[in-house]
Structure 1
Amino acid sequence: METNQYLDLFIDESSEHLQSINDRLLELEKSPEDTSIVGEIFRSAHTLKGMAATMGYEDLADLTHKMENVLDGVRNDKIQIDAEMLDIVFESVDHLEAMVLEISQGGTGERDIRRVVELLQAIELGDALDQRKKEQSLPADTTPFQENSVDEFTRTVLKQSKEQGLSNYHIIVSLREDCMLKAARVYMVFDVLEQMGEVILSTPPVEDLENEDFETDFQVLFVTEESREDIDAKIMKVSEVHSVHITEYKISETENKAQVPSAQIEKDDSSNENNGASSNSKQALNKTIRVNIDRLDVLMNLFEELVIDRGRLEQISNELQHSELQETVERMSRVSGDLQNIILNMRMVPIEQVFNRFPRMVRQLSRDLNKDIDLRIIGEETELDRTVIDEIGDPLVHLLRNAIDHGIESPNERKKNGKSGTGSIELKAYHSGNYVFIDITDDGGGINREKVLKKALDNQVVTSEQAEKLSEQEVYELIMASGFSTADTISDVSGRGVGLDVVKNTIESLGGTITINSQLGEGSNFSIQLPLTLSIISVMLVEVQKEKYAIPLSSIIETAIVKKEEILRAHNKEVIDFRGSVVPLVFLKDVLEVPIELEEDEYYSLVIVRKGNKMAGLVVDSFIGQQEVVLKSLGDYLSGVFAISGATILGDGQVALILDANALIK
């Protein structure tokens, strides 16, 4: 069967099932008595195993099958949930995720999984040993559980031996854990048995016993005229045999029906569940399709061209003042606006896709560092453009690792400072205007201002004169300088500051900003501000001399016109009194070095912009109006231009540069 056409679907669904398994395992760790969680994990693993086997990824299917066996043991109350068992299952999931990742990159999904398979089998063996302990306490005439089915021929032999007055025994032999030559000991046991009777069936099969492909136990069905005591005594004479358990084997009339149903029942149960789910969600499934992100990119590019042409049509319509043309253009603008919202919403995905991997990461790091961490996630349903989602994961991972490693103190240190031994980290996402904010807040030790300043002076990041004038906020931002670190020792987890320059650069490349607030002894807050989308934005078009510029509406508070005599001076800067706040003025003609061709009048046209709690008044010559424009990158060659975040093509074909208000406020 040709499976390449299903590869993308397999990768997507496998990733979803693995994420679901990770989430449910974390829930199971908190509520080990909730068997419904185990059922959900088992179903996801069962589906993943089936898909992997169908696609021909044997290692993936085999490891999932072994994990499924352990989950089945938990589900049937045969295996107890503890931290060690969950660690092994989590490690198995790590291997499965690595296999799926390799497959998505064009690999075969093959991986050395022998160690984790042995660990999973060891969990199963522990289950088997517990079961055998129960068997030893059973009455002598009770037939112990036998793992292999007994076929019709074997049953016939056992019946005939019984009719001839012989005894049928079920014998379990356990070798010592430190037994070196297991195959030799098995041979010696079989040799003893064959001198007394006939071995009818063995589990594992003889071939596996000869290859030592078993742990310490094996079992046989044995026909003899010897007594149980004699058999026990003779087997125990074989060195390195730990124990022998012998019970009479009773032939059940329904034996041959026993082994087939378990797999069949499982299939039937799952089909019933699937049928139920199918009937409940059939309509929803029929209304959902998977679309490759590349197709959405092509659609967005085409729509961007449509937006440019729409602007051109609006300008022509205004120039001609033709009523029918104006009506048609207005209708086209409304329809294209609705179309724009639909396309943008298609690209929006919940940030939950990024946040989902953090609980598992925090769990592992807290165990590695011997810290108790309580991670709270708020606002995971907040949506972001898919392009931003793909890029924001790594910066968040780094900030979380910093918070755990150097933000949260050790339990003993926290208790000395009167805090709870469990550290708290809050990961919060929320919308505000045309931006999404992501806050990472910890209740750790905070950032030591004096320590940061000393390190900054030692590294010559700032001079002593500059250091005296720095505000708290500006000091904290120093830790995002390249190579800057306040860590006393560099750990293999993180060092606060190491790599934060990369975090900052990544966020700023997405059109976002990062701000830091901290209070020594109480904790820190890293706040990331990101645009909802990177392609089409609403701007205010302004004119500086004869050049046109666009200022994003998301940064603008309001526009104003003030007389020159109302301008004040403070700290050698021109400022205005804006509703009780002192707002500095930024003259764009000076910052952008625009050639002066027109005479200035007695009024200043201002665009008041805000970044966090800072404001500035951008001085322009005139306002043109509000417009939706397509944000185009300036390319690598012009990427470093100060205060310019991109460009757009206007309706008349002119190019307008898009100003970065955040850079101007700095």
Structure 2
Amino acid sequence: MSQDFMDPEIFADFIVEAKEHLETIEPNLLELEKAPDNLGLLNDIFRPMHSLKGASGFLGLNKINSLAHKAENILDELRNGKFSVTTEMMDVILSATDALRVMIESLESAGTEGDIDVKPIVTHIEALLASAVTSPATAARPEAPFEQSDDDMSGLNEAPAPKASAAEPLPDLPPYEAETYKLTVIGEGHLADFMEEAREIVENVNGALVELEKDPDSGSDLVNDIFRYFHNLKGNSGIIGYKELNALTHEAETLLNRVRKGELAPSQPMIDLLLAAVDAIDELIGGIDTQVTSVTPSDTRLIVRKLQIAAETGEFLNGAAETLTIEDILPAEPEPQPEETPQAEIAPLPAAAQGFDPEDVHIFAQANQQQIENMALALNTLRNDSSNTDFVDGLYRSLITVQNSAGYMGFEDIRVTAERTAGLVDQARKSDLDFGLMIDILDQECDILADMLKAKISELTGEKLEETLPEVPALETAAVKTSAPEPDVESERKIEKRAAAGPAPEPEKKITSKETKPQAPRPQASKSDADEQAAATKGAAAPKSSSTIRVDHEKLDHLMNLIGELIINRNRFAMLARSLEDGQVDVQEVAQSLIETTDAMNRISDDLQDTIMNVRMVPVGTVFSRFPRLVRDISRKTGKNVELFMEGEDTELDKSVVEVIGDPLVHMIRNSMDHGLEGEEERVANGKSPTGHVYLRAYHKGNSVAIEVEDDGRGIDPEKMRQVAVRKGVITAEQAALLDDREAIELVFAPGFSSAESVTDISGRGVGMDVVRSNIKNLKGNVAISSEVGKGTKITLSLPLTLAIIDALMVKVGKETFAIPLDAVSETTKIEARRLTDVNKRKALELRGEVIGVVELAEMLGIERTGEKRSILPMVILQDNDRRLGMVVDRLLERQEIVIKPLGAYLADFDLKGISGATIMGDGSVVLILDPHEVYGIAAQTAR
């Protein structure tokens, strides 16, 4: 695809969906390991992997596509009973998901798949697939379902010969030479629409087929849904001119049509065959080169012929299929057979239509009559409003549809006329030419085209149609963005999809992948041209995606309503301003109106803020879902039996916070399992259960969210922490002696500190917990740790609900104003200076029986203060988890809602201690925001 069509939104959607797929796959793999006979669980893993393969292929992400395809192959073998679920099998699939996650994260951050080496994983998978030749599971299931196009031909013979591996060519088929050709793109955004819809179709048809597999007697609705999915994909592939994809979906549609008619009943072999067809569709999609809008199709001859035999005979692995030969797949002169007609009500056609598929004639007539109306509507609208780009695009799409459908049917004169007229429209679109200057010539060209179409339709159907374009009144509603109304989309797509597959077949000859050779239905790049274009763009990075959030439409509707209320109040302010300018109004009356309007604005702004925050909130379960896999892997590496318990997955946080907390939680869980939990023998000796427990919890705590990682391990020994810190030079022996147990335990957050006796690939390098603190600090949160020797350790992350707006207490120190996050304020008070005492060289205050350390904010920040010594001290009591600190200020101001602004890169070198950000006040002044957790740390360090 050219860069013009590399829509960042498509890549953003892909990344979101890919992450969701991986979050579904990993937990299910772990469950499958516990319940290896659960076929439903296996299908739940297969579907998202299958969808990931298809979506990545659409976007030209070949590394992701290739690895997902290999993983899908082995999952398919498991589904088919060729293998049994083993630890080795789970390990290699989990390794593949790890690599896929790394590539997707690289795509998100850098716009490329990265340089991760997936060859060892692919080699391992291929070795496992090759072992299917001698697998006992294979022998136990001689009736293997149909596979995709890279299956071994011998799988269709009576002898139970082994299937060739996915990497091996079909041994008896003539060599397949893929020919690269250009796809037809109907304006900007069209290919993006195709890709998005195809991804949804592949996912939906997989789910529907699996559901049908569970309940073949579920009724006709499910079969109709599957038929419609293939039908739509067939249509869409025809519009872009993808011949092989169009032919394959056509055969699947034909088979399903017999099921819809009641001529065939759903069965396991049929569903296996259709799933194999979906696999082949994914592979075809993977052949699309998004850089140059071209395609190099894969070999679909075998799967197409299997579908044809199934539709013709109703046989799958029995009867005719058992004797399938090369001649059946590539017949030199196929016997003429009347084609099944999905539209049973189509009337007999006149003599002029003999030689054409009745269904094709019906669809050609129906779709092009609609295109005639669309062209008339577009031209009539553009005559009155030549700048309406929606109708310009609609006209272009209609002309391309006519061009493709005429090319498919072999009506060269109509095709050339439509192509010429579409070229005029496209040239005008790209040059920003005023369509008002071209409307007459376009009207004339479209009249000619409409006359040709109506004549041909009348000739084919025997129905007399009016000549020239119909008069269609201009719509007063929103512009139409599609080339046909909704009721006719199905039939229109059907002919458009076929149009790209090549000209109409010979009379009574069945369409196969061998026969769909285009007879110049449209301009097509030669292989060398496509190669040159591909070379020109080779290595071009995919566009870096932006972060996206899925929003319920009801929330958007509510936002629009609030915007409407804002506009009303804005108009009220403007009216009041004009009244004051006139000077002929009662000031008291205007003041009252201002108060009322301001109150309304406050209500609306509060509602807007709540709604926007609600839109940005996502459940932490999206992060938690990766940890069962992590625990499982570490448990196997360490040889410890560990069980993970998760609570509060539905707790919501700002999306920007959720995206960052993953790595800190990984470090915490690794430390809990590697350092915290004992081995089985040690646990039993200490009277504990042999299985260790790790708890991952999320819950609301005031205006923040707390996330806890707790284990029931050996705990942290404060004395050992002091000794290790002194030995490693983190602190001196004198400093260690002054540390209380809590402070000693918190040494785990010191840079480079590690109490591990040896470094492993899990932990022990001294970087984990320092990273945790740094990341959480960047999120304006804090970390607390508590531990009891022999009982376990708990680490608590306190995170703000949002990073944008907070409630703050404003205080004055000297001439400066500071903001303190309100959720860190336990209380405010005023005390007599004489009540301050010295405890261990620190200022302290006894408040209601509790001794609290005290710090002067002015002294801490080096702010000069004038005035005499005060007898009454305003004080803010800060709450840092379960610790409290008194902070003396000059004045306590008001509580205020503030917008957090970063300090900016130019202040990064100043290392502003105790400051987390800034905000802008109503008068335009800048106020610094204090970091309560860092203030506490500075106070403790100063005292030492």
TM-score over 0.5 (shorter chain): yes
Which residue number corresponds to residue 544 of structure 1?
813
Contact 2:805 2:897 in 1 (8 A): yes
Measured after TM superposition, the shift of residue 610 of structure 1 is: 1.3
Contact 2:695–2:709 under 8 Å retained in 1: yes
> Which residue does the alignment assign to 1:154?
none
More contact order relative to length (CA 8 Å, sep ≥ 6): 2
Could you say which structure has the higher strand fraction? 1
Instruction: Report deviation, 1:538.
Output: 0.8
Partner of residue 634, structure 2:
365
Residue type of the alignment partner of 1:125: V
Separation in structure 2 between the aligned mates of residue 556 and residue 469 of structure 1, nearest angstrom: 27
Q: Hey, what's the Cα distance between the residues in 2 that align with 1:294 and 1:203? A: 43
Q: For the structure 1 residues 488 and 267, does the alpha-carbon distance in structure 2 shift closer, same or farther, using more than 3 Å as the test?
A: same
Q: Which letter does structure 2 place at the counterpart of 1:34?
A: N
CA distance in 1, matches of 2:14, 2:755: 45
User: Quick one: percent identity of the two aligned structures?
Assistant: 38
Q: Indicate the SS of the match to 1:391.
A: coil
| Other-structure match for 2:39 | 35
Deviates more, 1:80-89 or 1:562-571: 562-571
Q: Which position in structure 2 is the counterpart of 1:351?
A: 620
Partner AA of 2:914 in structure 1: A
Q: Secondary structure at the match of 1:557?
A: strand
1:328 aligns with 2:597: yes
Q: Distance in 2 between matches of 1:439 and 1:108?
A: 33
Return the alpha-carbon distance in structure 1 between the equivalents of residues 841 and 73 of structure 2: 76
1:16-27 to structure 2, matched below 5 A, reads 16-27=20-31
* Partner secondary structure for residue 730 of structure 2: coil
What is the CA distance between 1:569 and its match in structure 2? 5.5
Structure 2: distance between partners of 1:65 and 1:513: 42
Distance, in Å, in 2 between the alignment partners of 1:293 and 1:114 is 30
Q: Distance in 1 between matches of 2:134 and 2:114?
A: 30
2:698 aligned with 1:429: yes
In the TM superposition, residue 405 of structure 1 has moved relative to its aligned partner by 1.6
Say yes or no: does 1:205 pair with 2:213: no
What letter matches 2:723 in structure 1? Answer: K
Q: Determine which of 832, 851, 857 is the counterpart of 1:582.
A: 851
Q: CA deviation at 1:627?
A: 0.8
Report if the CA contact (8 A) 1:350-1:384 is conserved. yes
In 2: Cα distance, 1:349 partner to 1:330 partner: 31
CA–CA separation in structure 2 for the residues paired with 1:540 and 1:458: 43
8 Å Cα contact 2:154-2:161 kept in structure 1: no
**CA 1:554 to 1:424, structure 2 compared with 1: closer, same or farther past 3 Å?**
same
- Structure 1 position 430, deviation (Å): 1.6
Amino acid in structure 2 at the alignment position of 1:656? V
1:331 is displaced (CA, Å) by 1.8
Matched, 1:4 2:11: no
Tell me the residue number matched to 2:932: 661
State the distance in 2 between where 1:459 and 1:61 align: 47
What secondary structure sits across from 1:436 in the alignment? Answer: strand
- Partner of 1:79 in structure 2? 83
- Deviation sequence 1:254-298 (CA, Å, 0-9, x none): 9xx9988742377699x9xxxxxxxxxxxxxxxxxxx954899xx
1:207-356 to structure 2, matched below 5 A, reads: 262-264=272-274, 292-293=546-547, 322-356=591-625
Residues 352 and 381, structure 1, Cα contact 8 Å, conserved in 2: yes
The 3 A distance-change label for structure 1 pair 536 and 416 is same
Q: Specify which of 696, 708, 730 is matched with residue 439 of structure 1.
A: 708
The farther-off stretch of 98-107 and 528-537 is 98-107
Provide Cα deviations, 1:201-245, integer angstroms capped at 9, x if missing partner: x9853999xxxxxxxxxxxxxxxxxxxxxxxxxxxxxxxxxxxxx
Counterpart of 1:649 (choices 920, 924, 938) is: 920
Distance 1:514 1:442 in 2: 16
Structure 1 residues 97-116: aligned runs within 5 Å? 97-101=101-105, 103-104=107-108, 105-107=110-112, 112=119, 114-116=122-124
Paired residue type of 2:658? I
Of 550-559 and 631-640, deviating more is: 631-640
C-alpha displacement at 1:125, in angstroms? 2.9
After alignment, is 58-67 or 608-617 more displaced?
A: 58-67
Give the deviation of 1:474 after TM superposition: 0.6
CA distance in 1 between partners of 2:128 and 2:636 (Å): 21
* Aligned amino acid, residue 123 of structure 2: R
Equivalent position SS for 2:725:
helix
Q: CA deviation at 1:53?
A: 3.9
Question: Following the alignment from structure 2 to structure 1, what is the Cα–Cα distance between the partners of residues 755 and 838?
Answer: 39
CA deviations on 1:178-209 (whole Å, 9 max, x unpaired) are xxxxx9xxxxxxxxxxxxxxxxxx9853999x
Judged with a 3 Å threshold, the aligned counterparts in structure 2 of structure 1 residues 485 and 347 are, in CA distance, closer, same or farther, namely same
RMSD: 4.1
Secondary structure of the equivalent of 2:634?
Answer: helix
CA 1:90–1:42: 2 relative to 1, 3 Å: same
User: Which residue, out of 500, 503, 510, partners 2:779?
Assistant: 510
Deviations 1:149-194 (CA, angstroms, capped at 9, x unpaired): 47xxxxxxxxxxxxxxxxxx958599xxxxxxxx9xxxxxxxxxxx
Which residue does 2:886 correspond to in 1?
Answer: 617
Cα deviation for residue 377 of structure 1 reads: 1.7
Contact 2:549 2:616 in 1 (8 A): no
C-alpha offsets along residues 507-561 of structure 1, whole Å, 9 cap, x if unaligned?
2222222222222222212222222222211111122343322221111122223
2:734 to 459, 465, 471: 465
CA distance in structure 1 between the aligned counterparts of 2:277 and 2:174, rounded to whole angstroms: 31
Q: Could you tell me how far 1:586 is from its partner in structure 2?
A: 2.7
Deviation at 1:497, TM superposition (A): 4.0
State how far apart, in whole Å, the 2-side matches of 1:372 and 1:21 are: 22
Which AA in structure 1 matches 2:863?
V
1:414 corresponds in structure 2 to: 683
Q: Residues of 1 paired with 2:268 and 2:921: CA distance? A: 77
Distance 1:44 1:558 in 2: 51
For residue 41 of structure 1, what is the amino acid of its counterpart? I
Aligned 8 A contact 1:66 1:121 in 2: no
Contact 2:692 2:712 in 1 (8 A): yes
Greater helix share, 1 or 2?
2
What are the residue-to-residue correspondences of 1:387-406 with 2, within 5 Å?
387-406=656-675
Q: Distance in 2 between matches of 1:21 and 1:39?
A: 10
Is contact 1:374–1:422 with CA below 8 Å preserved after alignment?
Answer: yes
Residue type of the alignment partner of 1:591? M
Match of 1:282 in 2: none
C-alpha spacing 1:562/1:95, structure 2 compared with 1 (3 Å)? closer
Instruction: Please report how far the alpha carbon of residue 107 of structure 1 lies from its aligned counterpart in structure 2 after TM superposition.
Output: 3.5
* 1:424/1:442 contact within 8 Å kept: yes
Aligned residues of 2:903 and 2:917 also touching (Cα < 8 A):
yes
CA positional deviation for 1:580: 2.6
Quickly say closer, same or farther: Cα 1:98–1:125, change in 2 above 3 A.
farther
1:545/1:621 contact within 8 Å kept: yes
- Measured in 1, the distance between the counterparts of 2:673 and 2:751 equals 21
- Residues in 2 aligned to 1:503 and 1:369: alpha-carbon distance in whole angstroms: 22
SS at structure 1 position matched to 2:660: helix
Which runs of no fewer than 5 residues in structure 1 stay unpaired?
A: 137-144, 151-168, 175-182, 184-201, 209-253, 272-290
- For the 8 Å contact 2:142–2:160, the answer to whether it is kept is no
The one-letter amino acid of 1:659's match is L
Find the counterpart in structure 2 of residue 276 from structure 1.
none
**Conserved in 1, the CA contact under 8 Å of 2:826 and 2:877?**
yes
Distance 1:126 1:37, change over 3 A: farther
**What is the distance in 1 between the residues matched to 2:61 and 2:858?**
64
Give the count of matched residue pairs: 531
Aligned-partner residue type, residue 357 of structure 1: R
Q: Indicate conservation of the 8 Å contact 1:92/1:116, yes or no.
A: no
How many Å apart are 1:413 and its aligned residue? Answer: 2.4
Opposite residue 617 of structure 2, the aligned amino acid is M
Distance 1:264 1:462 in 2: 67
User: Does the 8 Å CA contact 1:70/1:124 hold for their aligned counterparts?
Assistant: no
The aligned amino acid for 1:397 is V
Structure 1 residues 584-608: Cα deviation after superposition (integer angstroms, max 9, x where no partner): 3333333334333344664332222
CA contact (8 A) 1:69 1:124 kept: no
SS where residue 132 of structure 2 aligns? helix
d(CA) in 2 for partners of 1:344, 1:118 = 48
Mapped to 1, the partners of 2:615 and 2:910 lie a distance apart of 29
- Identify if the C-alpha distance between structure 1 residues 644 and 123 changes in structure 2 by more than 3 Å, giving closer, same or farther: same
Aligned to 2:760: 491
Q: Secondary structure at the match of 1:322?
A: helix
- How far apart are residue 567 of structure 1 and its match? 5.0
Indicate conservation of the 8 Å contact 2:132/2:138, yes or no: no
